[in-house]
Structure 1
Amino acid sequence: MNEKRDVEGLYNRYRQVPLYLIGMFCLMTVFMYFVGIGAGVIATIFTAVYGAVSIVVFLRMNALSRDRYVEFAMEHGKMQKELIKEFPVPYALLDEDGKVVWVNDEFSGITETSKRKLMKLNIVQVFEEVTEESLPYQEEVTEGEIAFNGREYRYEIRRVQVNKVEPAMEETDAQPGEAGTDGDGADEQKKETKASHGGSRHHGKTDTFLAFYMFDVTVVNQLAQENHDQKLVAGLIYIDNYDEIFESLEEVRHSLLVALVDRKINKYMANVDAIVKSLEKDKYMFVMPQKYLDQLKENKFALLDEVKAINIGNDLPLTLSISLGTDYKSFIENFEAARSAMELALGRGGDQAVIKSADRITYFGGKSQGTEKSTRVKARVKTLAFKELLETKEKVIIMAHKNPDMDAFGSGIGIYKMVTALGKTAHIVVNEVSSAISPIYGNFTSSNSYPADMIINNDQALSLVDDDTVVVVTDVNNPTLTECEELLAYAKSIVVFDHHRQTKDVIANATLSYIEPFASSACEMIAEMLQYMDEKIKLRPTEADAMYAGILIDTDNFLSKTGVRTFEAAAFLKRSGADVMRVRKMFRTDIETYRQKAEGVSHAEMVLDAFAISIITPGDGPESPVVLTAKIANEMLNIAGVRASFVIAQMGADVKISARAIDDVNVQIIMERMGGGGHANIAAAQFENAKAEDIKKELVELLNEMYKEGDI
């Protein structure tokens, strides 16, 4: 409106230019009299004629132009009104509270509601998707999506400021009707009135409305969905235990088993319009349209269970790992994501499907404990690769997870022995000595057989790291859980040894990674590597004790996740000087801790007649609360009928769950759903600012849900 008034004033000044010139001519006439009387008279006559003509023309043109303005404005306004009314885009005008003030024909037609009825409603009553929070404030514009009568719309709401224009008409001598009843008379009256007042006077009052637009995006969304559905998803299928299965199966049945597996895979993939190609004897690649991915998720990759049901005399069930890459910009990126997801699936023990998209990783299956690998080929290959890497470096810094347990410390000692045997300098990062390692920690710090800088803290480690340093991470593969995460950012070469199942948070850019989820402990893995490292390496009894204790603690005295290779590693450590009785004496429980453990077991409650849950509040004592909860959970597994145990500890404002399993229950996937993780039969989760009773309720609900879904 301000711009309109500026243009109108500019035009008025333009029309008044001739009037301004009259004054100039008058001034010029005065000067002409100084020149001569005759010249002055001529100038006076010219100025008088020019002035009279200019005034007459100005008055006549002023009245005529205003008539034209009024006529044009009325026609223009009528045209705009008709255009908005018949505008093909649904349009509504709302007040600031969202009440419908006016709608066009298209809006009324789409909503199938009369204009009169619409103007009695609020916009939030017309469309459920539009809420009061959707209405814009100040100058902002809000957008959203609406689904209405089988169509999809994108709506836009913007604020509109309207200045009210009120003509102030004063009384004139002519009363209505005196100028005649014809249209010309009425026009004459309006002309005189407007001319006498110089037009309308603007008042400063402003109204605010909300303009509501709707754009039909049904076709666009359909095309976008079709394009999304036709995108290709890359996938891989690996047989986890191919060699172990065929070793236990008669040779004449090998071809039959291969044919059955091929048939199961091809039949399952044919249902989702996938193309399957065999890459190797135990590896397949497939591509499928994106639209069938939800179907695979819905049946939770039933192929995993179908293949496990194949039995033609094989002692072990056949298991698969399936990986898919999706939602990346190109098919090549999808395939790379599938390869990465397969590494993750195998690192988690196999028998599961992993979907890796651009923004998340989803797991399916993983209910079985996995098949122990009888071959040591992988251990030998990783050992030789580690030895070659060490030959190019001078320093090694070893670290495990925060609050190291006996497995973390024992495996660190084993790696320290490997490194020093090659003549390299090694250090172990330990910031806090917990009760879990205190019985054996002093054997190294108080002995003259080891240098004073054998064990260092974070600050010392950061000052030592350089381009000629290898950082070895043991018993953990999550960077946020390491003793010094900052050390990983400075290290050029990183090596990871771990037996825990991988999650989406892994140590990136590791030069060498040896993740073996089938191993009972990190100490078992390092004991195997020691045998391939150098035949001349001889462990000291204290070193053998530390590694033996790591296996003993992680297997709960060889009762949990113990395989043939576990006993072989223990036998090697026994030959190296480990004393079983000495280790047992080191890790005996004091009477107060034993009472707390007994109390924790006495509070156990059964859920679904298969899961034992206990809540404890650890008291004062030499045993750390973390170790105490683990011991109680292990003890509850001795109760008949218990498939898995959960101990919930209230530790100040935080809550920790320690989970253990003795049957085919995978407690890792249970803890992952609660934000934790771990191993198939040893897992945990931690919650900040929580109450134990609330966490117990959440756990019980989760167990019931997973039990109904068949996940446990």
Structure 2
Amino acid sequence: MNLETINAIDALLETPQRIVIIPHKNPDGDAVGSTLALWHYLNDMGQQAKVIAPNDFPKFLKWLPNNEQIINFEKDAASAKELINDATAIFTLDFNHLGRIGELQPLLEEASATFVMIDHHQEPSDYAKIMYSDVTMSSTCEMVYNLIEAHKGISYITPEIAICLYTGIMTDTGSFKYSSTSSRTHIVVASLIEKGANNTLAHSMVYDTNTPSRLHLLGCALKNMVILEEYRTAYITLSQEELDRYDFKKGDTEGFVNYGLTLEGIIFAVIFIENKDEGIIKISLRSEGDFSVNEFARAHFNGGGHNNASGGRSEKSLSETAQYFTSILPSYKDQLTK
């Protein structure tokens, strides 16, 4: 964190604030972990804070301390609107464009509160007065730890804060295997374990609580995998009918896209998931090495994110989206096969 950002946040928090903390739509481990950790910390410091999520989050994160305090906008819009209208400060975590928060977007665009962005994705927009944006960070949870450290609050990290931050770092680094995992990340994680984060529990609760239906859905996804060796690429499709057949629950497809990268020689993996309710195909893209799925998603699928992990969407049908994807790969052959 630079000194200007530290001073700006310190000045904001010198006086009591009515704070709303918001993650992106379909919040993942980093989004839930960072918002809950910041909620714990700010309230422990005497601030008045609430977390409002645009929609629900996966069951495998609902063991995190005080997760039931998160207000789901889809289920309790009235309370959420009242809190946002009354807020003096709004912290937005793990996203950098208001388009990532769904139906909450117009409410935040009209809000008069001071906005603070904490995020590690590329190409941030300029809606926040105070921006802590760093694409080199492993996760937003690592950034929240840095914020607490800069605020001279490390001694106030409780086991509850520690496990929330640990879980977010663990999930956003692929259990510490992604290139964004730095020596600093491991120092932060070591500190969180010392502060009471149960690393074994976090891994077990996130990765070892599968249902039979989720594993059957994974089997379906792997059966659907298409391998394009000439482009060192693999992609998976999942239709709405297949999701329904295997009793899909939010979060069930988490991590499916990564299976393509476990294949020898594959450096680009994508999953296309049909969502009939929203009328779109949701897309997750992963890569290894220098191939930027952030640039690819921005150019073709209205998305973006990180160089090696991004998301996007398509309004074409599932089959048309897959066909379009394969049709543009020849333009990237030199990048994928060098």
Fold in common (TM above 0.5): yes
Pair 436,662 (structure 1): closer, same or farther in 2 beyond 3 Å: farther
1:419 aligns with 2:38: no
CA deviations over 1:48-75 (Å, ceiling 9, x no partner): xxxxxxxxxxxxxxxxxxxxxxxxxxxx
1:611 aligns with 2:229: no
Output the CA distance in 2 between the equivalents of 1:468 and 1:605.
48
Residue 477 of structure 1: how far off its partner (Å): 0.8
**Which residue identity is paired with 1:405?**
D
Match in the other structure for 1:649: 273
Output the CA distance in 2 between the equivalents of 1:466 and 1:655.
33
Contact persistence 1:379–1:528 (CA under 8 A): no
1:543 aligns with 2:158: no
Higher relative contact order (CA 8 A, sep 6+): 2
Output the CA distance in 1 between the equivalents of 2:310 and 2:87.
36
Match in the other structure for 1:681: 308
Contact persistence 1:527–1:572 (CA under 8 A): no
1:392-431 to 2 correspondence within 5 Å? 392-431=15-54
Contact persistence 2:21–2:93 (CA under 8 A): yes
Matched residue of 2:156: which SS? coil
Between Structure 1 and Structure 2, whose CA radius of gyration is higher?
1
Match of 1:460 among 52, 58, 79: 79
Match in the other structure for 1:638: 262
Match in the other structure for 1:532: 150
Match in the other structure for 1:577: 196
CA deviations over 1:572-627 (Å, ceiling 9, x no partner): 21111111111122112223212322332233222224111121233433642xx4
Match in the other structure for 1:590: 211
**Which residue identity is paired with 2:152?**
D
TM-score, normalised with respect to structure 2: 0.86
Residue 522 of structure 1: how far off its partner (Å): 0.5
1:492 aligns with 2:113: yes
1:224-263 to 2 correspondence within 5 Å? none
CA deviations over 1:369-425 (Å, ceiling 9, x no partner): xxxxxxxxx356533421211224521111011121121111112222332243211
Output the CA distance in 2 between the equivalents of 1:660 and 1:525.
22
Residue 692 of structure 1: how far off its partner (Å): 1.5
Matched residue of 1:482: which SS? helix
1:36-75 to 2 correspondence within 5 Å? none
Residue 559 of structure 1: how far off its partner (Å): 1.2
Output the CA distance in 2 between the equivalents of 1:456 and 1:598.
31
Pair 498,574 (structure 1): closer, same or farther in 2 beyond 3 Å: same
Residue 438 of structure 1: how far off its partner (Å): 4.2
Output the CA distance in 1 between the equivalents of 2:26 and 2:317.
23
Listed as ranges, the gaps of 5+ residues in structure 2 are: none
Contact persistence 1:393–1:469 (CA under 8 A): no
Output the CA distance in 2 between the equivalents of 1:559 and 1:461.
37
Contact persistence 2:56–2:72 (CA under 8 A): no
1:705 aligns with 2:326: no
Listed as ranges, the gaps of 5+ residues in structure 1 are: 1-377, 447-451
1:197-596 to 2 correspondence within 5 Å? 378=1, 381-435=4-58, 438-441=61-64, 443-444=65-66, 455=71, 457=73, 458-465=77-84, 469-482=88-101, 484-485=104-105, 486-502=107-123, 506-508=125-127, 510-535=128-153, 537-560=155-178, 561-587=180-206, 588=208, 589-596=210-217
**Which residue identity is paired with 1:473?**
T
Matched residue of 2:295: which SS? helix
**Which residue identity is paired with 1:489?**
E
Output the CA distance in 2 between the equivalents of 1:383 and 1:591.
47
1:659 aligns with 2:285: yes
Match in the other structure for 1:311: none
TM-score, normalised with respect to structure 1: 0.42
**Which residue identity is paired with 2:50?**
H
Matched residue of 1:440: which SS? coil
Output the CA distance in 1 between the equivalents of 2:294 and 2:308.
7
Contact persistence 2:20–2:87 (CA under 8 A): no
Output the CA distance in 2 between the equivalents of 1:381 and 1:571.
28
Pair 628,467 (structure 1): closer, same or farther in 2 beyond 3 Å: closer
Pair 425,517 (structure 1): closer, same or farther in 2 beyond 3 Å: same
Superposition RMSD in Å: 2.6
Pair 489,520 (structure 1): closer, same or farther in 2 beyond 3 Å: same
CA deviations over 1:633-678 (Å, ceiling 9, x no partner): 1122111111110111223243121111122211111111122212
CA deviations over 1:155-180 (Å, ceiling 9, x no partner): xxxxxxxxxxxxxxxxxxxxxxxxxx
Pair 480,394 (structure 1): closer, same or farther in 2 beyond 3 Å: same
Output the CA distance in 1 between the equivalents of 2:46 and 2:214.
43
Matched residue of 1:388: which SS? helix
Output the CA distance in 2 between the equivalents of 1:468 and 1:590.
40
Match in the other structure for 1:224: none
**Which residue identity is paired with 2:305?**
G
Output the CA distance in 2 between the equivalents of 1:645 and 1:397.
36
**Which residue identity is paired with 1:533?**
H
Pair 600,424 (structure 1): closer, same or farther in 2 beyond 3 Å: same
Residue 491 of structure 1: how far off its partner (Å): 2.4
Matched residue of 1:524: which SS? helix
Residue 456 of structure 1: how far off its partner (Å): 6.6
Contact persistence 1:404–1:437 (CA under 8 A): no
Output the CA distance in 2 between the equivalents of 1:460 and 1:475.
23
Match in the other structure for 1:265: none
Pair 699,456 (structure 1): closer, same or farther in 2 beyond 3 Å: closer
Taking only the aligned residue pairs, the percentage that are identical comes to: 22
* Count of aligned positions: 322
Match in the other structure for 1:691: 317
Output the CA distance in 1 between the equivalents of 2:189 and 2:63.
18
Contact persistence 1:545–1:579 (CA under 8 A): yes
CA deviations over 1:280-324 (Å, ceiling 9, x no partner): xxxxxxxxxxxxxxxxxxxxxxxxxxxxxxxxxxxxxxxxxxxxx
Contact persistence 1:462–1:487 (CA under 8 A): no
**Which residue identity is paired with 2:146?**
E
